């Protein structure tokens, strides 16, 4: 199909691109083509314009195609198994308290304001994980 589309692109043009380098064809076969034939046509049109030889090489392929290939090689993002909710919430709470204390230079009243807590509530929440300052 790629060769057919290239020949259609060549039709009526003074410049003729004969085909694709082997590596380019390999990449075409490996690519998932989420846009199907319309995407293939667009990639060939852009590569045709960039091509300076008689064959389209990988360097002629548009940036979006090359980044799409890279993304497909990466695979889907890994997802972590759910952790116990109470443990996760305690860890997040402790992290936020430590950040607020650091930003406030150890001033607990100011840290409480940063966290939208009363000073008493901050002291109570600092007791459980054992945060001293």
**CATH number of this structure's domain 2-74:** 1.10.8.60
Q: What is the pLDDT of residue 127?
A: 85
- Give yes or no for a contact between 72 and 29, defined as CB atoms under 8 angstroms apart: no
Quick one: pLDDT at residue 82? Answer: 84
Confidence class of residue 75 from pLDDT cuts 50, 70 and 90?
Answer: low
Q: How confident is the model over 94-116, as pLDDT tens digits? A: 999 999 999 999 999 999 999 99
Please, what is the average pLDDT of the chain?
88
Burial class (CB in 10 A: 0-12, 13-18, 19+), 11: exposed
Q: What is the DSSP letter of 19?
A: E
Cα–Cα distances in angstroms (integers) from residue 109 to residues 24, 104, 122, in the given order: 63, 9, 9
Topology classification of domain 85-127 = Arc Repressor Mutant, subunit A (1.10.10)
Comparing 85 with 72, the larger pLDDT belongs to: 85
CATH 1.10.10 domain locations along the chain: 85-127
pTM for the whole structure? 0.53
CATH 1.10.8.60 domain span(s) along the chain: 2-74
* Separation of alpha carbons 53 and 43, rounded Å: 17
**Residues 62, 43 contacting (CB under 8 angstroms):** yes
User: What is d(CA 52, CA 23) in angstroms, rounded to the nearest whole number?
Assistant: 17
d(CA 58, CA 23): 7
């Amino acid at each position: 199909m790629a060769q057919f589309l290239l020949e259609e692109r060549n039709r009526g043009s003074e410049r003729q691109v004969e085909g694709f380098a082997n590596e380019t064809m390999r990449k075409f076969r490996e690519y998932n083509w989420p846009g199907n034939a319309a995407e293939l046509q667009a990639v060939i049109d852009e590569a045709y314009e960039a091509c300076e030889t008689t064959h389209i090489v990988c360097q002629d392929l548009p940036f979006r195609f090359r980044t799409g290939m890279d993304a497909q090689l990466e695979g889907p993002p890994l997802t972590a198994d759910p952790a116990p909710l109470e443990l996760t919430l305690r860890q997040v709470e402790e992290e936020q308290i430590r950040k607020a204390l650091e930003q406030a230079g150890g001033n607990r009243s100011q840290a409480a304001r940063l966290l939208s807590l009363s000073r008493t509530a901050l002291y109570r929440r600092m007791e459980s994980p054992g945060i001293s300052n």
